[in-house]
Structure 1
Amino acid sequence: MSIRSLLKRLSFRQILRLTGIMFQNPLLIYPTLKATRRTMIICDLHYGKAHHKNGKANAFRHALWNILICHTTFRITKNKEKSVNWAQKITDLHEKLAPNKPIETAMDLHNNEVGRKYFLDLTTYFEEEIITFLKENTQKAKKVTDIKEILNHKDKLVYLLEIDTRS
């Protein structure tokens, strides 16, 4: 989905909220967009269209997106906490602006948070090392069928559906 098509779907109030967040940290907008674009390229390469569904590939995408936002903004902020807080603001807002079913939203928010936690240990890693680490952890992801189950997997990625991710 392009930025233009996303903006067309937003209400005036949602656009104001997005604008307000962007004005808080204008230097972080470009790195965030860069990380978002890079996330989609990597996920398309490794998982094809499967990352758009609610399987392990989707968990990988959400965690990677948060790690890359933190990584790219960390170069500017020089502060892990600031980068993590920014990534949370952006990705939480995304979930509010593009709503899903409650369990899908809970899964996405959880995987976003796990990605931010992983970032704290991956600050000095290069992109390929991050991808390898994350793919290994994606294989250990836990399937959930209820929102309450997500709480049982605080440091693990979670997913809803078994999806064939072989290209």
Structure 2
Amino acid sequence: MKRLFQKKLFYSFVTAVLVLVSCEKEKGLDTINQSTEKQMIDFCGLKVKLPTGYDEKVLSLNLSDLQGNYYSNKSKFGLKSASSDEMDITLEEMDNLVTSVLIHYPNTDSLTERDIEIIQNDFNGIDEIKIYENIDVIDSFYNALIRYDYVDTLSKHYSLNLKSTNDYLGYDVSKAEFWALVWHPRLVKPTRSATDKAIELTGQYFPGQAAWRTKADAFRHAIWNALIAKYVGDKKNKIDECVDWAKKFTDKHEEGAERPADMTQEDFDFDKAMDYHNNKIGRDYFKSVAWTDKRKWYQPTRVKAPSETTMADAIFEKTKVAKKVSSKSQINSYPSNLVYIKD
């Protein structure tokens, strides 16, 4: 309770500081948001109006620039330094915050009449056919704005989440995971949904069983990767792109893992090798059952896969022939099998 009270007290202080900073920003102290009216620019051959208050520089910010903005804002409140590996935010919180940003932009993955109207207003009256022909350029324009807004929103966030750092995938995301998600803001929600579903399915298929180094653990990692690839399929047009994102994010997860104090480095490396291996088994399975679909000529191609239940059943069958290993070197002997360390 004392910890919660201290956090709430600090949160009140941070809120007050944010109000002051927001006022300063409105006075023109922000170095990027200087425009006071919409500016027509050329973006990859298309005429487009920048939103009011944005400078064209926002469209060319790279990841390093965004990181600089984030830590600069955080330092104003004394909340975070660039040297810290802890981001103090959960995947759930990142999802909630990106949702608050995305509602201000068209959904280029599945265009509605409202989305088309917004795009036409921004892109100088572009007709509907040209929207579909140039959807990648249009998407990159909005993504640049979304990333900038997302970083601004994240930098002002203070978490009151008191979850244990030992909760699997419920703890604060690592720095590596955090920045991977920031650069791909539209993939935050499907990644979170896949994570939640993987945990749910593991509980269903292995009720009451420990999910660390066991067959349940192997199942969880495999279905997690398969579901990430499946869920981002609504935003990708190639199977390999879905697999690449699943690998990228889950690799970042493993890279950000911290070795428990009571575990040797050798044992920790063994544990991670098991996870990397089972992650790949899940991605390989997805790749073997996924397909692409294009319903109408003007609609983008999207990646499809069997239902969650079908995929979970298939991966559960793989646990029945999973191989128990006693060393890291043994894992390479079973390239097509799930592996586990203890019963």
TM-score band w.r.t. shorter chain = 0.7 to 0.9
1:79 to 2:235 alignment: no
CA distance in 1, matches of 2:279, 2:333: 16
CA distance in 1, matches of 2:210, 2:186: 29
Q: 1:106 aligns with which of 257, 273, 276?
A: 273
CA distance in 2, matches of 1:49, 1:152: 30
Query: Structure 1's 127 and 18: CA in aligned 2 closer, same or farther, altered over 3 A?
Result: closer
Query: Structure 1's 119 and 150: CA in aligned 2 closer, same or farther, altered over 3 A?
Result: same
The answer to which structure has the higher helix fraction is: 1
CA displacement, residues 5-52 of structure 1 (integer Å, 9 cap, x when unaligned): 432xx7xxx53x333211321111100000000111111122134252
Contact 2:230 2:286 in 1 (8 A): yes
Report the structure number with the largest CA radius of gyration. 2
TM-score (structure 2 length as normaliser): 0.43
1:121 to 2:319 alignment: no
Q: 2:186 aligns with which of 2, 5, 27?
A: 27
Whichever residue aligns with residue 85 of structure 1, its letter is D
CA distance in 2, matches of 1:118, 1:34: 19
Query: Structure 1's 18 and 55: CA in aligned 2 closer, same or farther, altered over 3 A?
Result: closer
Structure 2 unaligned residues grouped into runs of 5+: 1-88, 91-160, 164-170, 260-267, 291-304
> SS in structure 1 opposite 2:335?
coil
1:144 to 2:144 alignment: no
* Cα displacement (A) at 1:137: 0.8
1:4-15 to 2 correspondence within 5 Å? 4=161, 5=163, 6-7=171-172, 14-15=174-175
CA displacement, residues 30-79 of structure 1 (integer Å, 9 cap, x when unaligned): 00000000111111122134252211111010000000000000121121
Whichever residue aligns with residue 314 of structure 2, its letter is F
* Cα displacement (A) at 1:84: 0.8
1:40 corresponds in structure 2 to: 199
Percent identity (aligned) = 30
Whichever residue aligns with residue 315 of structure 2, its letter is L
Q: CA RMSD in A?
A: 1.7
CA distance in 1, matches of 2:275, 2:209: 15
Contact 1:44 1:51 in 2 (8 A): no
CA distance in 2, matches of 1:81, 1:141: 26
CA distance in 1, matches of 2:317, 2:255: 29
> SS in structure 2 opposite 1:145?
coil
2:168 corresponds in structure 1 to: none
* Cα displacement (A) at 1:92: 0.9
Instruction: Report how many aligned residue pairs link the two structures.
Output: 155
CA distance in 2, matches of 1:99, 1:151: 24
CA distance in 1, matches of 2:250, 2:209: 20
TM-score (structure 1 length as normaliser): 0.85
1:153 corresponds in structure 2 to: 334
Contact 2:205 2:316 in 1 (8 A): no
2:212 corresponds in structure 1 to: 53
